[in-house]
Amino acid sequence: MSQENSKPKLVAPLPAAGSPSDTQCDDVDAGLWSRVCETAATRVVLKSPVLANVVVLALWVLVWQLGRLVEYTEHASVWFPVAGLTFAVLLLEGAYLLPGLFGGCVLMTIWVGRKYGVALTDLQLAYAGMLFALAHIGSYALGARALRLLVMRGTRELPLLVIGFLLIAAAGSLLATATGVAALVFGGMMPAADAATVWLPYWIGDMAGVIVLAPFFGAALVTLNPHKTASLRASFNLNHQRATSQFKYKLLLTLTLLAASMWLAHATRSPNSAFAVFFLVIPYMWIASTESAFCNVVSVALGSVAIALLVHVFELKEFSMVYQFAINVIAANSLFALALPTLLADNIALRRIADTDSLTQAASRAHLEQRVRLDMLRCRMQGEALTMILFDIDNFKRINDGFGHAVGDRALKHACNIAQHALRPTDLLGRLGGDEFVAVLPGIDRVAARAIAERIRIQLATSTLEGGPALTASFGIAEMGVGDTCESLMESADKALYKAKQDGRNRVA
């Protein structure tokens, strides 16, 4: 397995841009998992479907026990993490791991039946387990299929993929609840009368398991078996696995705030205090918008485990529903926040395209006019001068006609470069169109502007354009007067430029 493939990848859709490139990064999330993926044992398991099924079965049982740790009433846990594992396995691996999942369902049903002293024989418990397996696996197989279809149909927009995933998680877990509760009743594991009280916590717990842990387990599976999931991988941008050096502190702060909010509910025994956990959305959004998608998924998974465990530690079982909803809301928000860096980066890129002339990299006309208005306002308020230099390459049409458009383009870039170097960083050079440029000089009066224009004119006239003719340009200057607007100032500069052309070109007027 290559180093590239060995890094953890996320199955949930990832942002294409906005990586935490502005902060120092370390591979905190890549190292350990890479080593696990590269071991000989992992390679043997991947090659053998039988061994892979045994591993899935063992993992399924282990994750089930993790959910049971936080069970607050019979058949209802704060969350049901195994739902996320089933969903991820079915989404990324498909049918060959069904025996492992099926075996896990049957095994745990027998175990639960014995633990609660259900009056069924082992054979009857196995039958009940099979009914549960059909309900659980069937529902999540449908959900995984729906998500696959969404991706294969070419949905690429991150917010749409997240909405799709959340809706599928909600619908899949509702189906798993309806069929699962029916399976428990028909299998003799639960009295029919309990169904009315069990279904809601069952649903929310399952949904939390899918939303929080399917991306986490998915990330692990994609890394373990990259070829198997090549088509899905290709549908997602899986670039950002690195954590910033502050990630661990952000995580520590978030978990501390989480524990503090839950301690508050413990100390006051008030439902109002229990709702304080929803404030955790803020630090989670902070992590989601500043860290990689993988770190986001890890922090949500860790936070959810912490919530589930602290419900027990602080004896908050009467508020279990609040915490179940909190896990779902925080995870859903964090998944949506994955889109933030992408949207911000897209926004910056689009603004740059709109503000810049693509050939010369000078400011676009729209951007220039916007800046002129702002600079005029500011200079007026501060009692400063503002001058505009409008210039146009002389006989540019002849350059195009005689040397070709490509040389004409290079001449435009060349003139733009020379002007750019003669200006201060606070000045703005823009291209009005064709071979016409404008420089806006805040705080500069007509006399100083004339000197700058002369400098540009002489440098252009004495420079050489490789493979092209000698270049000259004509310049028109206008200083802002009382009552001038952007348009009237440009008009004055244009009149001056016209005069320079009339007077014989290659001059400043």
Q: 239 or 506, CB closer to ligand GTP?
A: 506
442: amino acid identity, one letter = P
Residue 120's CB is within 10 A of a number of other CB atoms, namely: 18
d(CA 115, CA 93): 32
> Which of 312, 365, 495, 501 touches ligand GTP (CB under 6 A)?
501
Binding mask 414-443 for ligand GTP (x = CB under 6 A): --------------------xx--------
117: amino acid identity, one letter = G
Q: How far is the CB of 406 from ligand GTP (least distance, A)?
A: 7
Window contacting ligand GTP (CB under 6 A); options: 56-64, 268-276, 329-337, 405-413? 405-413
461-469: long-range pairs with CB below 8 Å, 24+: 461/506, 463/414, 463/418, 465/407, 465/410, 465/411, 465/414, 466/410, 467/403, 467/407, 467/410, 468/399, 468/403, 468/407, 468/410, 468/411, 469/399, 469/402, 469/403
State CA 30 to chain mean position distance.
19
Binding mask 336-375 for ligand GTP (x = CB under 6 A): -----------------------x----------------
> Which of 206, 375, 394, 494 touches ligand GTP (CB under 6 A)?
394
Binding to ligand GTP, residues 229-268 (CB under 6 A): none
> Which of 179, 237, 370, 400 touches ligand GTP (CB under 6 A)?
400
Q: Kind and range of the H or E element at 272?
A: helix 271-274
Give which of 268, 282, 262, 256 is closest to 322, Cα–Cα. Answer: 262
d(CA 490, CA 392): 13
> Which of 29, 291, 375, 392 touches ligand GTP (CB under 6 A)?
392
Q: 42 or 400, CB closer to ligand GTP?
A: 400
Q: Is 193 exposed, middle or buried (0-12, 13-18, 19+ CB in 10 A)?
A: exposed
> Which of 409, 424, 464, 499 touches ligand GTP (CB under 6 A)?
409
Does residue 499 touch ligand GTP according to CB under 6 A? no
Binding mask 447-486 for ligand GTP (x = CB under 6 A): ----------------------------------------
d(CA 462, CA 18): 44
> Which of 226, 283, 408, 476 touches ligand GTP (CB under 6 A)?
408
Q: 367 or 431, CB closer to ligand GTP?
A: 431
Residues in contact with 367: Cβ distance below 8 Å, sequence separation at least 6, in sequence order: 354, 355, 356, 430
Does residue 87 touch ligand GTP according to CB under 6 A? no
d(CA 486, CA 79): 63
Q: 82 or 471, CB closer to ligand GTP?
A: 471
What is the chain's Cα-based Rg? Answer: 33
Token readout for 107 is 């095994």
Q: How far is the CB of 402 from ligand GTP (least distance, A)?
A: 11
Does residue 503 touch ligand GTP according to CB under 6 A? no
- List contacts with ligand GTP (CB under 6 A): 359, 392-397, 400, 405, 408-409, 412, 434-435, 501
